[in-house]
Structure 1
Amino acid sequence: MDDIDELRSIVQAHPIIDNHAHNLLTAENALNYEKYPLEPVTSEAAGEALKQAPYTLSHRLAVKQLAALFNCEPTWEAIKAARYKRVTAGYEELVRKCLEGTYSLLLDDLLADHDIEHYTWHDKFIGSPSGTRRIVRIEAVATQILHDIWGPKAVLLEYPQGSGGILRFMDHFKERVSKACLDPMVAGFKSVICYRSGLNVKIDDDRLPYEIDDMLRDIVMNEPSLRIAEKRMNDFLVRMALTVIRDTAKSNGSKPKPIQFHTGLGDNDIDLVLANPAYLQPLIEKYHDVDFVLLHSSYPYTREAGYLASVYPNVYLDLGEVYSMVSKDAELTILRQAMELTPTSRLLWSTDGHFHPETYWLSNRQFRDTLETVLVDHVKQGVLTVSEAKEAVADILFNNSSKLYDLKLSPPKVALEKSKSKSNDLSVITYTKYLDALAAQNPNMIVWMQWVDYTATIRVRMFPIREFQKIVKGQRRIGITLAVLHMLQDDTLAQGGVATGQFYMRPDLHSLRKNAALKSNSATVMTFWEDEKGEQLEGCPRTTLQRIVTALNPIQVTLGFEIEVVILRRDLDGEWKPLTRNHSWSNITSDIRQNALEFLEEIVATLASIDIHIEQFHAESAPGQFEFVLPPAPPLEAIDTLLKARQTIQNAAEGHGYRATLYPRPYPFAAGTASHAHFSISPTTEEESFLAGILTHFSAIAAFSLSQDISYERVASGVWAGSEWVAWGTQNREAPIRKISAGHWELKQIDGLANMYFAMAALLAAGYLGIAHSLTLTHKDCPVDASTLSAGERQRFGITEKIPKTLEASLAALEENDDMCAILGPGFVEKYIAVKRAESKKLASMGDDERRTWLIERY
Structure 2
Amino acid sequence: MTTSQPSIDSLRHLIQTHPLIDNHAHNLLAQEHACNYSKYPFEQITSEAQGPALDNAVKTLPLLRAANQLAELYSCPADWNAIKSAREQWVQRDYGSLIRRCLEGTHSLLLDDLLTDYDIQPYDWHDQFTVSGTKRIVRIETLASKILTAMRDSGDLVNGDASLADYKVQFGLFYESFKKMVTSSVTDPNVVGYKSVICYRTGLNIVEPEEDALFKSFSRTVQQTETPYRVEDKPFNDWLVLRTLDILTLAKSASSISKPLQLHTGLGDSDISLLLSNPAHLQPVISKYPEVDFVLLHSSYPYTREAGYLACVYPNAYLDLGEVFPMVSRDAEESIIRESLEIVPTNRLLWSTDGHFFPETYWLSNKQFRQTLETVLVDYVLQRDYTVSQAMEAAADILFHNSNRLYGLNQTPQYQPSTICALPNSPSSLDTFIRNNPGVKFVWMQWVDYTATIRIRMFPIREFARIVRKERRIGISLSVFWMVQDDSVGASAPPGATTGQFYMEPDLSSLSRNVGVPSQSASVMTFWRSEEGKQLEGCPRTTLQNLVTKFKTEHNIDLTFGFEIEVIFLKPTTDANGKKDYTPAVANHSWSRMTSETQTLLPLLEEIVEALASININLEQFHAESSPSQFEFVLPPASPLAAVDTLLKARHVVTSIANQHGLRATLHPRPIPKAAGSASHAHVSISPSDQEESFLAGVMKHYPAVVAFTLAQDISYDRVKSGIWAGSEWVTWGTQNRETPIRKIGPGHWEIKSLDGLANMYLAMSAFLAAGYLGVSQNMPLTLKDCTVDASTLTPSERTALGITTALPKSITESLAALEKDTEIQGLLGRDFARNYTVVKTAEREKLNAMSEEERRIWLVEQY
1:540 partner letter: C
Mapped pair 1:586 → 2:592: yes
Partner of 1:620: 625
Deviates more, 1:267-276 or 1:499-508: 267-276
Mapped pair 1:759 → 2:760: no
Task: Tell me the alpha carbon deviations over residues 187-233 of structure 1, each in whole angstroms, 9 at most, x when there is no partner.
Answer: xxx9999689956799xxxxxx9x9xxx9xxxxxxx99999734999
Aligned equivalents of 1:317, 1:772: Cα separation in 2: 32
Pairs within 5 Å for 1:191-340: 229-230=241-242, 263-266=265-268, 272-276=274-278, 296=298, 298=300, 302=302, 320-323=322-325, 331=327, 334-335=328-329, 338=332
Partner of 1:673: 678
User: Helix, strand or coil for the counterpart of 1:841?
Assistant: helix
Aligned equivalents of 1:411, 1:626: Cα separation in 2: 39
1:434 corresponds to which of 429, 437, 449: 429
Partner of 1:483: 479
Task: Tell me the alpha carbon deviations over residues 426-468 of structure 1, each in whole angstroms, 9 at most, x when there is no partner.
Answer: xx97642132244466275211000000110001011111111
User: Helix, strand or coil for the counterpart of 1:525?
Assistant: strand
User: Helix, strand or coil for the counterpart of 1:707?
Assistant: coil
CA distance 1:55–1:675, shift in 2 (3 Å): same
Aligned equivalents of 1:638, 1:124: Cα separation in 2: 28
Pairs within 5 Å for 1:394-413: 394-396=374-376, 406-408=390-392
CA distance 1:13–1:20, shift in 2 (3 Å): closer
How far 1:583 moved relative to its partner? Answer: 1.4
How far 1:408 moved relative to its partner? Answer: 2.3
Mapped pair 1:787 → 2:768: no
Task: Tell me the alpha carbon deviations over residues 398-417 of structure 1, each in whole angstroms, 9 at most, x when there is no partner.
Answer: 767995994426999xxxxx
Deviates more, 1:766-775 or 1:741-750: 766-775
Pairs within 5 Å for 1:412-491: 431-439=426-434, 442=438, 445-491=441-487
CA distance 1:79–1:619, shift in 2 (3 Å): same
CA distance 1:831–1:558, shift in 2 (3 Å): same
Mapped pair 1:98 → 2:112: no
2:490 corresponds to which of 476, 494, 504: 494
2:850 corresponds to which of 838, 845, 848: 845
Aligned equivalents of 1:655, 1:572: Cα separation in 2: 19
Partner of 2:603: 598
Pairs within 5 Å for 1:691-840: 691-840=696-845
How far 1:576 moved relative to its partner? Answer: 1.0
User: Helix, strand or coil for the counterpart of 2:623?
Assistant: strand
How far 1:276 moved relative to its partner? Answer: 3.7
CA distance 1:123–1:560, shift in 2 (3 Å): farther
1:561 corresponds to which of 560, 563, 584: 563
Contact 2:325 2:353 in 1 (8 A): no
Aligned equivalents of 1:717, 1:69: Cα separation in 2: 61
CA distance 1:704–1:366, shift in 2 (3 Å): closer
Task: Tell me the alpha carbon deviations over residues 132-164 of structure 1, each in whole angstroms, 9 at most, x when there is no partner.
Answer: xx9x99x9xxxxxxxxxxxxxxxxxxxxxxxxx
Aligned equivalents of 1:679, 1:506: Cα separation in 2: 27
What is the alpha-carbon root mean square deviation over aligned residues?
5.6
CA distance 1:275–1:579, shift in 2 (3 Å): same
Contact 1:717 1:723 in 2 (8 A): yes
1:713 partner letter: D
Aligned equivalents of 1:758, 1:17: Cα separation in 2: 22
CA distance 1:759–1:355, shift in 2 (3 Å): farther
Deviates more, 1:506-515 or 1:684-693: 684-693
Contact 2:474 2:503 in 1 (8 A): yes
CA distance 1:430–1:610, shift in 2 (3 Å): farther
Partner of 1:521: 520
CA distance 1:124–1:587, shift in 2 (3 Å): farther
Task: Tell me the alpha carbon deviations over residues 600-619 of structure 1, each in whole angstroms, 9 at most, x when there is no partner.
Answer: 12211111111001111111
1:557 partner letter: L
Counting aligned pairs with the same residue, the percent is 47
Partner of 1:240: none
How far 1:15 moved relative to its partner? Answer: 2.7
Task: Tell me the alpha carbon deviations over residues 606-637 of structure 1, each in whole angstroms, 9 at most, x when there is no partner.
Answer: 11111001111111111111111111111100
Partner of 1:542: 541
Contact 2:198 2:237 in 1 (8 A): no
User: Helix, strand or coil for the counterpart of 2:597?
Assistant: helix
User: Helix, strand or coil for the counterpart of 2:665?
Assistant: strand
Aligned equivalents of 2:829, 2:393: Cα separation in 1: 27
Partner of 1:352: 352
User: Helix, strand or coil for the counterpart of 2:515?
Assistant: coil
Aligned equivalents of 1:80, 1:712: Cα separation in 2: 60
User: Helix, strand or coil for the counterpart of 1:567?
Assistant: strand
Partner of 2:22: 21
When the two structures are aligned, how many residues end up with a matched partner? 676
Contact 1:603 1:652 in 2 (8 A): yes
Deviates more, 1:479-488 or 1:72-81: 72-81
How far 1:710 moved relative to its partner? Answer: 0.4
CA distance 1:722–1:399, shift in 2 (3 Å): same
Contact 2:205 2:276 in 1 (8 A): yes
Aligned equivalents of 2:93, 2:237: Cα separation in 1: 34
User: Helix, strand or coil for the counterpart of 2:561?
Assistant: strand
TM-score w.r.t. the length of structure 1 is 0.66
How far 1:816 moved relative to its partner? Answer: 1.6
CA distance 1:42–1:565, shift in 2 (3 Å): same
Contact 1:13 1:434 in 2 (8 A): no
User: Helix, strand or coil for the counterpart of 1:703?
Assistant: helix
Aligned equivalents of 1:751, 1:443: Cα separation in 2: 35
Contact 1:584 1:622 in 2 (8 A): yes
TM-score w.r.t. the length of structure 2 is 0.66
Mapped pair 1:575 → 2:581: yes
Task: Tell me the alpha carbon deviations over residues 102-153 of structure 1, each in whole angstroms, 9 at most, x when there is no partner.
Answer: 5x98x8969799977999x97899xxxxxxxx9x99x9xxxxxxxxxxxxxx
CA distance 1:360–1:781, shift in 2 (3 Å): farther
What 5-or-longer segments of structure 1 have no aligned partner?
1-10, 87-93, 126-133, 140-189, 203-208, 216-222, 238-258, 285-291, 325-330, 372-389, 413-427
Pairs within 5 Å for 1:385-396: 394-396=374-376
Question: Which of the pair has more CA radius of gyration?
Answer: 2
User: Helix, strand or coil for the counterpart of 2:809?
Assistant: coil
Aligned equivalents of 2:125, 2:780: Cα separation in 1: 32
User: Helix, strand or coil for the counterpart of 1:505?
Assistant: strand
Aligned equivalents of 2:797, 2:806: Cα separation in 1: 13
How far 1:97 moved relative to its partner? Answer: 3.1
User: Helix, strand or coil for the counterpart of 1:697?
Assistant: helix
CA distance 1:597–1:354, shift in 2 (3 Å): same
How far 1:558 moved relative to its partner? Answer: 0.9
Aligned equivalents of 2:784, 2:478: Cα separation in 1: 42
Aligned equivalents of 2:593, 2:824: Cα separation in 1: 45
1:591 partner letter: E
User: Helix, strand or coil for the counterpart of 2:392?
Assistant: coil
User: Helix, strand or coil for the counterpart of 2:755?
Assistant: coil
Mapped pair 1:532 → 2:531: yes
